[in-house]
Structure formats: structure tokens, C-alpha cells
Amino acid sequence: MKKLQTFFNVYLALVLATCGTSERSTTDQLPSGAEYYFSIFGDSRDGNDMYSVLQNRSVMVGMPRAAVHLGDMISTHQSSEQWPSFVALTETYYQAQKFYPVIGNHDVGDARSYDLFLAVFPQLAQPGYEVEQIGECFCIFTNSEDLEVKPGVIGPTQLAWLEAQLSSEAAQKARFRMVFTHRPPFPQHHHRDKPLQPTDTLHQLFQTYKVTAVIAGHEHSYSRLEKDGITYVVSGGAGSPLHTSAGPDAAFYHYIQVSLLNSALQFRTIDHTGKIRDDFKIELPPSSDSAAGL
């Protein structure tokens, strides 16, 4: 592991020199008084050089409470050789921090690869989904590749679990509720004809329990959609080949920086050069609000 980390540290220095990102950019700094909650990446696969550049960007402003990967960490679930390099590269930046993996379709495709994924990330429970309270955020990490049903479907067991979590006292007391998934319920570009199912049921659940944001990967581009008070974000630009058909305003390498301000969560989508490509806030609701208002 140490040899792998040494190799990637040297490789990172070469990549940063090539990309001209070794100096801190003033565009991607945290706002004054902000608390750094998450750095979010999606779809790095075999693009370790770009993933490394983006991770370096993400920690130049400070260490987040948690790093989230939205899935597709390796290029094929049929091979186990890529996992050591992914783990070593990620640990270079987040050794002392919480790292939350979301299962992607390139990560898991059968029982063998599923067992391997759980061996790499033993903190993840057997069904491949979990919850965590991170600061003011109640976070749900789903599994869109659940082997109980076909890929791209949240099956009955996981749906029942999801509603139980969203309706829980912990979720209702949280100021923000965030759902992380690999496949997006409302893809806007390359996979727009293949939304996560059952889309309507999921959206109704998110409405009922006042989910703040749903963050997904899978499309190798960036998009943001506001629907019935819920923010849907797709972030799949952490190293995988870009879906250039989405156009240059969407198909770019990036990560998402989420920070807590006094009255809002601030989301910044930052590309590999440090340029902010999207910047929006979700206001903090009154503390007396419960998740469902039931």
C-alpha cells in the first residue's frame, strides 16, 4: 500500500505540473465562515490522473468532513486489479476522513464483484446502502445496482428501507436530507431515456419527506434540475471519458464542493482548473420544520 501511495504521489506531481494546477486558484476558495461538508466525485473509473487532480483541488481549501464517490470507481467489475490503485489514490487525500462509496454499474455486476466491493469497503452493510448524519445533513446512500432486482431499479426491499429512513425521527429532525445514488432519477443527457426506476415513486417519496437534494452520477457530464422543490444534480465528471454530446457547458471534468453557511448549504461545481462552473445555495429551513410536516 505504501509503495502504491508513493507511486501515485509522484505521478500526481507530474500530472499537476502538466495541467498547470499546482498553484492554488482563487476561484475555488471556501466562502468566509463556511464549514466544508463534502467533496463529491462521480465516475472516475480508469481516469486516475484526472481523479487525482480533482482530489487535489478539493483539499487545497481544507479537509471536508466527508468525501463521497457516486460510483464507477473502476472500469469493469470483471477485474479486481484496479481496486488497489483506487484505494491507494483515495487514501492519499482522505486517510483521516470519512469516505462514502456509492455502488456504480461498473463496480458491481454479479455476486463475485459485489462480494469484492464489500471487501474493499467493509463499512458498507450487506445490502449496499446506508445512512449517516454528517453535520446538519441526514444522508442516505442508495444502491441502484441491487442484485435483488435488475440494475437501474430500486426494488421493494430497498424502497421500504428508504421510506423508513426518510420518515425516521433522525431524518425529520435534520435540517437537510440528501440522497446519493449512482443512476439518476432524472438524467438530462446521455442516459436521459434510462432513468432510475421507479422514478415517480421515488420522486413522490422525496416530495413527501422534503428531501433537499438528490445527487447522482452515471452520466459523464454535469446537470442540475429543480423539480417540485427538490434539487436533482448529476455529477459524473471525475475522470471517465466525457459524454461530449452533452456539449461543453455540461461535459467537463469536475467535482462538487458543499459547504455550510449560516443560512444555507452552498454547492459549487469546480472544474479541474479551479474554475467554478455552477454555484447555488439551498436555504436552511426553520429549525421547527420536520422532514414531512406530518
Contact 207, 230 (CB under 8 A): yes
* Greater pLDDT, 290 or 128: 128
Contact 282, 137 (CB under 8 A): no
Mean residue pLDDT of the chain comes to: 87
Would you give the distance in Å from CA 62 to the centre of its chain?
18
pLDDT score of 290 more than 90: no
Place of cell 479551479: 274
Place of cell 434510462: 194
Q: Which residues of 174-203 are buried (b: 16+ CB within 10 A; e: fewer)?
A: bbbbbbbbbbbbbbbbbbeeebbbbeeebb
For residues 53 and 46, give the distance between their C-alpha atoms in angstroms, rounded to a whole number. 14
234-249 pLDDT, tens digit per residue, is 999 999 999 999 999 9
pLDDT band at 273 (very low <50, low <70, confident <90, very high): very high
For residues 100 and 180, give the distance between their C-alpha atoms in angstroms, rounded to a whole number. 10
3-state secondary structure of 95: coil
Task: Show me where the domains of the chain are located.
Answer: 2-17+34-283
Q: What percent of the chain has pLDDT over 70?
A: 87
Q: Does the domain spanning 2-17+34-283 belong to CATH 3.30.360.10?
A: no
pLDDT at site 45: 93
What pTM did the predictor assign? Answer: 0.88
pLDDT band at 232 (very low <50, low <70, confident <90, very high): very high
pLDDT band at 287 (very low <50, low <70, confident <90, very high): low
Question: Rounded mean pLDDT of 115-141?
Answer: 89
* Greater pLDDT, 17 or 182: 182
pLDDT at site 286: 62
Question: Rounded mean pLDDT of 259-272?
Answer: 93
13-52 pLDDT, tens digit per residue, is 433 333 433 344 446 788 888 999 999 999 999 899 999 9
* Greater pLDDT, 81 or 291: 81
Instruction: Give the N- to C-terminal CA distance of the chain in Å, as an integer.
Output: 50
| Cβ neighbours, 10 Å, residue 38 | 27
Cα-based distances in Å from 87 to 25, 122, 222, 229? 27, 13, 25, 36
For residues 292 and 287, give the distance between their C-alpha atoms in angstroms, rounded to a whole number. 13
